[in-house]
Amino acid sequence: MLKIIGSILIIISGTMIGMSVGQRLRDRLFELKSLKKTIALLRGEIRYGNCALPEAFDHISEYIEAPFSGMFEQISRELNEYEGKTFVEVWKKHVEKIKSMTCLKNEQVCQLKALGENLGYLDREMQLNTLDLYKEQLDYNIRNLEESIVKSVRLYNCLGVMGGILIVLIIM
Amino acid sequence: MDKGRELFKIFSLTIRKNLEKLKLDMNKLHEIRLRTDMPLILKYSGKEYMIDENGNMREKTDKPYIIRQNDMRETMEYISNYSLYAFEEEIKQGFLTITGGHRVGITGKTITENGNIKSVRYISSANIRVSHEIKGCSKEALQYIRNASGIYNTLIISPPGCGKTTLLRDLIRNISNGWDNVPGRTVGVVDERSEIAACYMGIPQNDVGIRTDVLDCCPKETGMLMLIRSMAPDVIAVDEIGGEGEIDSIRYAMNCGCKMLATVHGTSFEEIEEKNEDIFERYIILDKSKGIGTIKAVYDCKGEIKQQC
């Protein structure tokens, strides 16, 4: 009797693990899309509002989702304190901070960090180009993920169940 | 002190610490000059000072505090709020206005395209001119420009640094609030360089009176016409007029029944006459013979001297 209950528990937990990995993929897709929206907003603030970066960040933080809204709000606040740090330092520090809260891949976090390196540099045209470049990277990431996500989620679900069963078989 | 803190925030951390230690009286501070690899120079109550190695203010010192390239870069980053791109237009003109209405003039390597300045890179010098808000400094001037029905069209003529913007600001405040027994009037201000009202996000940070509407960062020529149509002001005030189109707009405004208050760079009435800008009814000439903002003379439209001190 105990054996059977134990086996069921193992299989269930295996399934859960598989599902949570799949969920992570869905969250990643959501975050990438949220970033894309952020870039569109930022572009507008710079293009039409001719806003300085801290001001623009403060504005857009109201319209976007966590954890990015918090990140932009904090960057804006820290920049306005003028504590002797460059823009890139502040930017990278805060991207690093939210890294663990997101489901982004390492590579995608690096891309987000790299965006900060070119912001504030040269003229307005340059800002827009920098944002466009980053948007292209996002588009690429989103497209890739969307193509594979259905298959991947199913795969992870199966793997979870199978893994559970496998472990039960080995133990028995 | 708070106003000083606000201003010092634009300097790099090391410069800021040095300046804060001096405990300056902001009303006496006129200019702060930064030049890469040169000493920091302050113009304070009419004299020039440097900062020595102990952080004290001295007129002469062997080891003055030197501005490093990094200080300059950091300062420019703060001045532009990390976003030089947002100040393209201002940089083309060689100066930008920061929070508080202070003016920062810059020089460096200019980048030109077809003979026009496109931008300034490698900014090596900056001159921070502290804007002052001296309430009540227009008392004397008001006597000369008031008439039975309000005020005359008035032009303030002054060389740089003699307090013309400060005087204009106080005139606006008094005319807008009303003074003595004169009722206040609606004043429209076209603040092309954000120096008069020092707007932050569109809201005046300086006290410009309760009946004042400010068009911030707007070119004067179009701004004046816009104000006449949209806000029906009794008085329109502008700073540093000069362009041909601006004079036409001023004429137009006068014909619409608005009274004009304007300032211009210059030293004498004759100069203005030559430039065909003698369309005003009162001309106030400023200099600093008896301290900044001394009224040297007042003329009326026929060129007659009202007072000479």
Q: How far apart are CA A94 and CA A96, in angstroms?
A: 5
Q: How far apart are CA B50 and CA B53, in angstroms?
A: 10
CB neighbour class for B288 (10 Å; exposed up to 12, middle 13-18, buried from 19)? middle
Tokens for B290?
């008896």
A79/B82 touch (CB, cutoff 8 Å), yes or no: yes
Taking the CA of residue A130 and the nearest CA in chain B, the distance in Å comes to: 13
Number of residues assigned to chain B: 309
Q: How far apart are CA B187 and CA B212, in angstroms?
A: 5
Q: What pLDDT, in 10s, does the model give residues A63-113?
A: 888 788 888 888 888 888 877 788 888 888 888 888 888 888 888 888 888
A82/B84 touch (CB, cutoff 8 Å), yes or no: no
Q: How far apart are CA B120 and CA B111, in angstroms?
A: 6
Q: How does DSSP classify residue B85?
A: G
**Closest-CA residue in chain A for B121?**
A122
As a whole number, mean pLDDT of residues B188-213 equals: 86
**In chain B, which residues have their Cβ closer than 8 Å to the Cβ of A84?**
12-13, 74
Interface of B with A (CB under 8 A): 9-10, 12-13, 74, 77-78, 80-86, 88, 119
CB count, 10 Å around CB of B4? 17
**Closest-CA residue in chain A for B82?**
A120
Band of pLDDT at residue B190, cut at 50, 70 and 90 = very high
In chain A, residues 87-146 whose CB comes closer than 8 Å to chain B: 87, 120, 122-124, 126-127
**Closest-CA residue in chain A for B84?**
A120
Band of pLDDT at residue B246, cut at 50, 70 and 90 = confident
Query: What pLDDT, on a 0 to 100 scale, did the predictor assign at position B1?
Result: 42
Residues of chain A with pLDDT under 50: none
CA A67-A109-B70 angle, to 5 degrees, is: 95
Q: How does DSSP assign B177-212, residue by residue? A: H-BTTBPP--EEEEETTS-SS-EETTEESS---TTE
Q: What pLDDT, in 10s, does the model give residues B211-221?
A: 999 998 888 98
CA B126-B130-B132 angle, to 5 degrees, is: 165
Distance from CA of residue A160 to its chain's centroid?
A: 24
Determine the 3-state secondary structure of B40 from DSSP.
Answer: coil
As a whole number, mean pLDDT of residues B100-109 equals: 86
Query: What pLDDT, on a 0 to 100 scale, did the predictor assign at position B279?
Result: 81
Taking the CA of residue B14 and the nearest CA in chain A, the distance in Å comes to: 9
Tokens for A69?
């809204």
Q: Enumerate the β-bridge partners of residue B212.
A: B187
**In chain A, which residues have their Cβ closer than 8 Å to the Cβ of B84?**
120, 122-123
Determine the 3-state secondary structure of B95 from DSSP.
Answer: strand
> Which single residue is written with the structure tokens 């100040």?
B87
Distances (CA, A) of B29 to B7, B75, B130, B285: 11, 19, 7, 23
Q: How does DSSP assign A84-135, residue by residue? A: S--HHHHHHHHHHHHGGGS---HHHHHHHHHHHHHTTSS-HHHHHHHHHHHH
A124/B74 touch (CB, cutoff 8 Å), yes or no: no
Q: How does DSSP classify residue A35?
A: H
Q: How far apart are CA A6 and CA A4, in angstroms?
A: 5
Taking the CA of residue B78 and the nearest CA in chain A, the distance in Å comes to: 7
Taking the CA of residue A92 and the nearest CA in chain B, the distance in Å comes to: 15
CA A164-A168-A169 angle, to 5 degrees, is: 115
As a whole number, mean pLDDT of residues B77-102 equals: 82
Cβ atoms A42, A56 nearer than 8 A: yes
Q: How far apart are CA A53 and CA A41, in angstroms?
A: 12
**Closest-CA residue in chain A for B8?**
A82
A120/B119 touch (CB, cutoff 8 Å), yes or no: no
Q: What pLDDT, in 10s, does the model give residues B134-178?
A: 888 888 888 888 887 788 889 898 888 788 888 999 999 999 998
Number of residues assigned to chain A: 172
Mutate to test the interface with B, among A81, A88, A122, A123 (most CBs of B within 10 A): A123
Q: What pLDDT, in 10s, does the model give residues B71-88?
A: 888 888 888 888 888 888
Taking the CA of residue A143 and the nearest CA in chain B, the distance in Å comes to: 32
Q: How far apart are CA B195 and CA B216, in angstroms?
A: 9
Give the start-to-end residue ranges of the domains of chain A.
2-171
Q: Would you identify the CATH topology of the domain B2-129?
A: Beta-Lactamase (3.30.450)
**In chain B, which residues have their Cβ closer than 8 Å to the Cβ of A43?**
none
Taking the CA of residue B270 and the nearest CA in chain A, the distance in Å comes to: 42
Band of pLDDT at residue B3, cut at 50, 70 and 90 = low
Burial profile B14-32: b = 16 or more Cβ within 10 angstroms, e = fewer: ebbebbeebebeeeebbbb
**Fold agreement (B2-129, B139-308):** no
Of A54, A82, A120, the CB nearest to B9: A82
Give the start-to-end residue ranges of the domains of chain B.
2-129, 139-308
A53 touches chain B (CB under 8 A): yes
B10/A54 touch (CB, cutoff 8 Å), yes or no: no
As a whole number, mean pLDDT of residues B37-66 equals: 85
Half-sphere exposure of B52 (CA within 13 A, CB side): 8
Distance from CA of residue B59 to its chain's centroid?
A: 27
Distances (CA, A) of A162 to A12, A43, B258, B264: 10, 47, 85, 85
Among the residue ranges B73-82, B181-190, B295-304, the one predicted with the least confidence is B295-304
As a whole number, mean pLDDT of residues B115-143 equals: 85
**In chain A, which residues have their Cβ closer than 8 Å to the Cβ of B13?**
82-84
| ipTM confidence score | 0.71
Q: How far apart are CA B30 and CA B130, in angstroms?
A: 5
Count interface pairs A-B at CB distance under 8 A. Answer: 47
**In chain A, which residues have their Cβ closer than 8 Å to the Cβ of B79?**
none
Q: How far does chain B reach from its first CA to its final CA, in angstroms? A: 36
Tokens for B259?
């009274």
**In chain B, which residues have their Cβ closer than 8 Å to the Cβ of A122?**
84-85
CB neighbour class for A57 (10 Å; exposed up to 12, middle 13-18, buried from 19)? buried
Query: What pLDDT, on a 0 to 100 scale, did the predictor assign at position B173?
Result: 92
A50 touches chain B (CB under 8 A): yes
Of A46, A50, A54, the CB nearest to B82: A54
Q: How far apart are CA A104 and CA B265, in angstroms?
A: 59
A55 touches chain B (CB under 8 A): yes
Q: Domain B139-308 is of which CATH architecture? A: 3-Layer(aba) Sandwich (3.40)
Cβ atoms A49, A56 nearer than 8 A: yes
Q: Enumerate the β-bridge partners of residue B158.
A: B265
In this structure, the dihedral spanned by the alpha carbons of residues A70, A75, A78 and A84, taken in order and rounded to 10 degrees, is 160
CB count, 10 Å around CB of B279? 15
B78/A123 touch (CB, cutoff 8 Å), yes or no: no
Band of pLDDT at residue B308, cut at 50, 70 and 90 = low
Query: What pLDDT, on a 0 to 100 scale, did the predictor assign at position B179?
Result: 80
- This model's pTM is above 0.80: no
Q: How far apart are CA B265 and CA B276, in angstroms?
A: 14
**Closest-CA residue in chain B for A48?**
B86
